[in-house]
Amino acid sequence: MARLGARRRPCPGNVDEPLAFVIRVGMQERLIFLVGAPRSGTTLLARILSAHSAVYGRAEPHLITPLAHLGYYASVQKAPYDPFNVQQAVHEFVEDLPRGEDDYLDALRAYADTMYGRMLDTAEGKQFLLDKTPAYALVLPFLTKLYPTAKYVVLTRHPLAILTSYVNSFFDGEWEVALSHNPILERYVPALAKMVREKPVALEHVRYEEFVADPEKGFRAMCEYLGIPFEASAIDYQESSEGFEGLGDPTGVHQHDRPVTSSIGSWAGEIAANPETLTLVRNLVDALDPADLATLGYPRDEIMAQLGEAEGKGGKPRKRKAPLRYSMQRKVLVGLRKNIHENALGRLLKRLRFALDVLLRE
């Protein structure tokens, strides 16, 4: 429906230049975004980067993903308000701003700059703030538009190593449950491949397998890209870095003092040990764009050959370990959520929530 009285206000001639200057300088030159899929080694790399004297690393802050879904670029599907009305309203509002979308980005950047800047102020002597939030890989077009001159380190790992680690770390080897919860390859492989292929911003692409095989070489190249001196001591991250833990609490990073190569090929034998899992995984790989896999450095033919070789050797099932605290929590939550809206537990929780809402209402 057409809006009455809507018009684009003219922008004064002397407005653009000062605002453009504000965009070019400031917080974003001090930000490092470490981009990668869950279970791809981002925690390892974050620990090493945060061990550097110039870098302050934090647990996953998740500041950017909510901003990307406020309605102008994307919206949530369910909220305690009408997201469709919000989407229309914010577009109409931004359309009437003097600089339109640029003003909207300035406003979002002001919020994020304040949060990042105040946090960096608490880290005396640190030049850069590291944000390692894997979910950012799914909003990269927005992130790179918001912070085009920040530093970007894109970490990629063999897709099936990621998948196997994800299933084992969070779902205790239950493949069907894990994939129904989050089709991780379907979501992250195209997003990361597009970033690496199109390079909308300057970035450093790091392949996990190459990095752990020669961390000194990889970290030296990373430091050169970031414009900071190489510090070999940072590679021994257990001794010198912040011991932060993100929402995806790491499985292996606490077990070693520095990068190791022991987990590089372990995924193949485990997948091949179960015919049903092998078929499932082959179908998953078939559904991915071969160009995306090649861009990331893991051609489809090579992956299929690795699976075939593992199958020929008979495969080797994973040795079960005592479940970690966070994996147990995740497993319990996934189990409880099954049919939660239809079963007795769900009905009880809804009644309890109603009672609490009444009691706590102001």
Instruction: Check residue 121 and give its pLDDT.
Output: 93
Q: How many domains does the chain have?
A: 1
Q: Where are the beta strands (DSSP E) in 193-333?
A: 204-207
Is 280 exposed, middle or buried (CB count within 10 Å of its CB: 0-12, 13-18, 19+)? middle
Instruction: Check residue 171 and give its pLDDT.
Output: 80
Using pLDDT thresholds of 50, 70 and 90, give the confidence band for residue 242: low
Instruction: Check residue 149 and give its pLDDT.
Output: 96
Using pLDDT thresholds of 50, 70 and 90, give the confidence band for residue 168: confident
- Give the integer Cα–Cα distance in Å for 134 and 131: 9
Lowest-confidence segment of 22-36, 67-81, 263-277, 307-321 by average pLDDT: 307-321
Are 218 and 225 in contact by the 8 Å Cβ rule? The answer is no
Which residue bears the tokens 């647990």?
59
Residue 12 lies in a domain: no
Instruction: Check residue 240 and give its pLDDT.
Output: 60
Is 357 exposed, middle or buried (CB count within 10 Å of its CB: 0-12, 13-18, 19+)? exposed
3 state SS of 3: coil
Lowest-confidence segment of 83-87, 88-92, 153-157, 208-212 by average pLDDT: 83-87
Two tokens, residue 38? 């869950």
Are 235 and 217 in contact by the 8 Å Cβ rule? The answer is no
Residue 338 lies in a domain: no
Instruction: Check residue 314 and give its pLDDT.
Output: 72
The CATH number of whichever domain residue 105 belongs to comes to 3.40.50.300
- Give the integer Cα–Cα distance in Å for 55 and 46: 10
Residue 79 lies in a domain: yes
Let me know the angle formed at the C-alpha of 193 by 298 and 57, rounded to the nearest 5 degrees.
100
Nearest to residue 49, comparing CAs of 207, 218, 214? Answer: 218
Residue 357 CA: distances (Å) to CA of 78, 193, 350, 360: 20, 45, 10, 5
- Give the integer Cα–Cα distance in Å for 338 and 79: 21
Residue 197 lies in a domain: yes
Residue 326 lies in a domain: no
Nearest to residue 64, comparing CAs of 1, 116, 126? Answer: 116
For 25-52, what is the mean pLDDT?
A: 92
Instruction: Check residue 31 and give its pLDDT.
Output: 97
**Interacting residues of 267 by C-beta distance below 8 A, sequence separation 6+:** 158, 160, 161, 163, 164, 165
What amino acid is encoded at 4 in this protein?
A: L
Q: In terms of pLDDT, which residue wins out, 354 or 207?
A: 207
What amino acid is encoded at 263 in this protein?
A: S
For 254-270, what is the mean pLDDT?
A: 66
Using pLDDT thresholds of 50, 70 and 90, give the confidence band for residue 356: confident
Using pLDDT thresholds of 50, 70 and 90, give the confidence band for residue 1: very low
Instruction: Check residue 327 and give its pLDDT.
Output: 59
Instruction: Check residue 245 and give its pLDDT.
Output: 53
Residue 13 lies in a domain: no
- Is 17 a residue whose pLDDT tops 70? no
Is 353 exposed, middle or buried (CB count within 10 Å of its CB: 0-12, 13-18, 19+)? exposed
- Is 100 a residue whose pLDDT tops 90? yes
- Give the integer Cα–Cα distance in Å for 31 and 307: 39
Q: Which domain holds residue 66?
A: 25-258
**Interacting residues of 227 by C-beta distance below 8 A, sequence separation 6+:** none
- Is 209 a residue whose pLDDT tops 60? yes
How does the average pLDDT of the chain come out, rounded?
A: 84
Are 271 and 307 in contact by the 8 Å Cβ rule? The answer is yes
What single DSSP character describes residue 183? -
Residue 204 lies in a domain: yes
pTM score of the predicted model: 0.80
Residue 178 lies in a domain: yes
